[in-house]
Amino acid sequence: MNYCSNCAAPVEHMVPEGDDRPRYVCHACGLVHYQNPRLVVGCIPVWEDKILLCLRDIEPRRGKWTLPAGYLENGETVMAGAQRETREETGATVSRLEPYLLFDIAHINQLYLMFRARLDSPGFHRTKESAQVRLFGEKEIPWNEIAFPAIEKTLQIYLADRADGVFPFQIHPILEKMKRN
Ligand code: ZN
């Protein structure tokens, strides 16, 4: 950030008095720009024993498979956000949402909140954001083509819990991947 979002004066990256970490501070109008993690909300849409995945047609990770998920909007509840993202990315409507997984992705300042959800009908279609949308059985999941670590982990945990028949709410960290040569 270079300029104040309130008055357009240049900002300084500094620790404000009484604070313990650097913020973007505007000396012209006094505004401190606090920046906090963003929340991604999404669903595991299920029809019978199959899971709905979408093939991303947008960057990042275009051409990789994912669960429907995206940033929560201001003024929106987490459940409505997860349903909206599912509708936008898969054309499907979901209900009976159950809060299920929360991922702390501290190194990119994000949280993911994933719900379990039921498709209202097996109706879905490709969308502006998804080149393909389809149901996958457990044995068909394209593990090497999943877009994001949090989504891969969601699918792993869901399938393990499903085998056990219980779906306790869980919080997991997603750690930065070690750089490989
Ligand atoms: Zn300002």
CATH number at residue 2: 2.20.70.10
Q: Are residues 148 and 80 in the same domain?
A: yes
Task: Provide the domain limits for residue 24.
Answer: 1-35
What is the CA(148)–ligand 1 centre distance, in A?
37
What is the CA(17)–ligand 1 centre distance, in A?
17
Q: Are residues 19 and 108 in the same domain?
A: no
Average pLDDT, the chain: 95
* Residue 59 clears pLDDT 70, i.e. is over it: yes
What is the CA(27)–ligand 1 centre distance, in A?
7
Percent over 90 (pLDDT), the chain: 96
Structural domains of the chain, count? 2
Give pLDDT, residue 181.
Answer: 41
Give pLDDT, residue 176.
Answer: 84
What is the CA(111)–ligand 1 centre distance, in A?
29
Q: Are residues 11 and 83 in the same domain?
A: no
What is the CA(15)–ligand 1 centre distance, in A?
16
In a domain, 9, yes or no: yes
DSSP assignment of the chain, as one string? Answer: --B-TTT--BEEEE--TT-SS-EEEETTT--EE---PEEEEEEEEEETTEEEEEEE-SSSSTT-EE-SEEEPPTT--HHHHHHHHHHHHHS--EEEEEEEEEEEEGGGTEEEEEEEEEESSS-----SSEEEEEEE-GGG--GGGBS-HHHHHHHHHHHHHHHHT----EEEE-PPPPP--
pLDDT band at 20 (very low <50, low <70, confident <90, very high): very high
What is the CA(138)–ligand 1 centre distance, in A?
53
Q: Are residues 22 and 83 in the same domain?
A: no
Q: Are residues 87 and 156 in the same domain?
A: yes
Q: Are residues 57 and 145 in the same domain?
A: yes
In a domain, 180, yes or no: no
pTM score over 0.85: yes
What is the CA(12)–ligand 1 centre distance, in A?
11
pLDDT band at 178 (very low <50, low <70, confident <90, very high): low
Q: Are residues 76 and 126 in the same domain?
A: yes
Higher pLDDT, 176 or 5: 5
What is the CA(107)–ligand 1 centre distance, in A?
28
Nearest CA to 154 out of 170, 176, 139 is that of 170
